[in-house]
Chain A
Amino acid sequence: MLGFIFKRVLAAIPVLFLVILITFVLVRLAPGGPFDEERNVPPQVLENLNKRYHLDDPIHVQFFDYLGNLLQGDFGPSYKYPNRSVTEIISSGVPVTMELGFYALIFAVFAGSLAGIFAALKPNSWRDYTPMSIAMIGICVPSFVMGPILVLIFGIWLNWLPVAGWGYAAYDKIIPTITLGATYAAYVARLTRGGMLEVLSQDYIRTARAKGLPEWKVILFHALRGGIAPVVAFLGPAAAGLLSGSFVVETIFQIPGIGRFFLQAAFNRDYTMILGTTVFFAGLIISFNLITDIVTVWLNPKLRKDAFEK
């Protein structure tokens, strides 16, 4: 197992390097620079600005300088926010984004698997069609539509919940969590339903029922472990997606997470910030996929054997 993990970690290094190289080159190819504004600054001032951030060095020197600093954990200064380092901005936003993502994931898993199990128990009846239709709507409605609709209903019409901020007012985390988690809950519901249906037709479930176990025990202890396997495989990409895709929800609800910086950095041509956030998210996605693989292997005895033998 350790060998398997080690191999996967090793494979991640060239991937990260390529991500850095491609991003580094691409952002510099984009027209416009970090200091282009509506009002032109005199060329000498621009020159001094470039000097301040070593943008006047040859590009390969800049690249290796960047790599060197990165190895020491330094993402460099932000061009847009001169008194903040990229590391500082990322570390201020990440906990918030993580918290939002975590709640959304919990919501997705609970709401999704409940709906999925519920649907799988009586397939092709109204108890199946109702949650699955809602799930289909959940998949189709993007968060930038879902968010304002929830705000309109619960914030403005009913006046029950605050509509913006994060940790400012009581319960202001509820609407963003549901908005972000809804799509994933819908996927989880469909995956759970599919997984459960497959497992419930297996011989060992029949055996469990034949033993005279109550139905809830059959579902919870025997069926669920196998039925939820597709959901586990989905959780890694889902977690990464929740974190890197939260910028829409962060913008709608004024949440001080990292997603907004990720997006704004590109518009601002804030090179170090683009690279910093991209490298950060790339690292995150690679780690989540790795964790998912490990958990999948651990859950499935057949794969576990293969991994140990390798």
Chain B
Amino acid sequence: MFFSIPNIAALMNRYYIEYRQLIGAFFFGDVLERVMFFIAFGMGLGRAVAQIDGVDYITFLAPGIAAGSGVFIMAVATTYGVSNRYEGSAIWQSWLATPVRLQDILLSELIFNMLRATPSLVILYIVAYFFDAVPSVSGAILSLPVLMFANLVYGSITLNMGVYLGRMLYFRYIQALWVMPMYLFSGVFFDIKEAPEWMQVFANIFPLYHVLEVVRPLVLGRPVDLAQALISFTVLSVIFVVAFCLAYNQFKKRLFD
């Protein structure tokens, strides 16, 4: 499977035009919601929980919210967004009548939404900084490429679910069975090492857990276990490649009969 850079560039330009038109909706959806989560839990629950994993609760929470924000953005984009484009307006079909190919379309969808989600990460870190919740600014900056890659991984997984999103209400399944469990059981809000053992084992199936294993130490200014980081990166890369190929094959069956 080869990708065409000119095709992907042309598609990215088209997404950018859409983004410019809807920048307000994207901004409120992507940024504000996450910032509210951060402030509400950080300031609210943070009063009750004095310290967690050796830091203030709000400081513990900041990398968690950052790492988890892409889960929602990518899930919505690769299911609702994708379904709209290939079933609703059927513009994918019009693109496929040009030299643009399916793999170019799928990768562009992922890259565009990953890029679109990135400013929200930066804004979240800036807000957290003003709450004195970013112990290592350089660590937070270093975590950005990790989180951008993580967002591609989340997107490649939910892209497989987007194939079957025949009815918009089916998104509830994706939310209930994938997005929320991953968000709640990967250690965004609490230290997974303190959780019951079954939950610690359960957390392993979620990419977000593996991402947090790298991102949280980075932002907290702690040494990152390089061996662990390498394992996490390898696992996530394999997930990305497998999920992308599966999604490609499913869409191919669906679109090309």
User: Is the pairing of A and B real?
Assistant: no
